[in-house]
Amino acid sequence: MRLSSASFIPQTQEGEKRVLNSELWHACAGPLVSLPAVGSRVVYFPQGHSEQVAASTNKEVDARIPNYPSLPPQLVCQLHNVTMHADVETDEVYAQLTLQPLSPQEQKDAYLPADLGTPSKQPTIYFCKTLTASDTSTHGGFSVPRRAAEKVFPPLDFSQQPPVQELIARDLHDNEWKFRHIFRGQPKRHLLTTGWSVFVSAKRLVAGDSVLFIWYAVGCSTLFIPVV
Split at pLDDT 50, 70, 90, the class of 10 is very low
Residue 40, number of CB atoms within 10 A of its CB: 18
- Which position has the higher pLDDT, 18 or 135? 135
CB 101 within 8 A of CB 62: no
Taking the C-alpha atoms of residue 18 and residue 36, their distance in angstroms, rounded to an integer, is 22
Q: Dihedrals φ, ψ of 179, to 5°?
A: -125, 150
The phi, psi pair for 209, rounded to 5°, reads -70, 165
Q: Identify whether 119 is preceded by a cis peptide bond (ω within 30 of 0).
A: no
Q: How confident is the model at residue 17 (pLDDT cuts 50, 70, 90)?
A: very low
pLDDT in tens, 32-79: 888 888 888 999 988 777 777 777 776 554 555 556 667 788 899 999
Q: What is the 3-state secondary structure (H, E, C) of the chain?
A: CEEECCCCCCCCCCCCCCCCCHHHHHHHHCCCCCECCCCCEEEECHHHHHHHHHHHHCCCHHHHCCCCCCCCCCEEEEEEEEEEEECCCCCCEEEEEEEEECCHHHHHCCCCCCCCCECCCCCCCEEEEECCCCCCCCCCCEEECHHHHHHHCCCCCCCCCCCEEEEEEECCCCCEEEEEEEEECCCCEEEECCCHHHHHHHHCCCECEEEEEEECCCCCCEEECCEC
pLDDT over 80 (residue 9): no
Which pLDDT band holds residue 115 (cuts at 50, 70, 90)? low
Backbone angles phi, psi at 131, to 5 degrees: -70, 140
Q: Is the pTM higher than 0.85?
A: no
Confidence of residue 193 (pLDDT cuts 50, 70, 90): very high
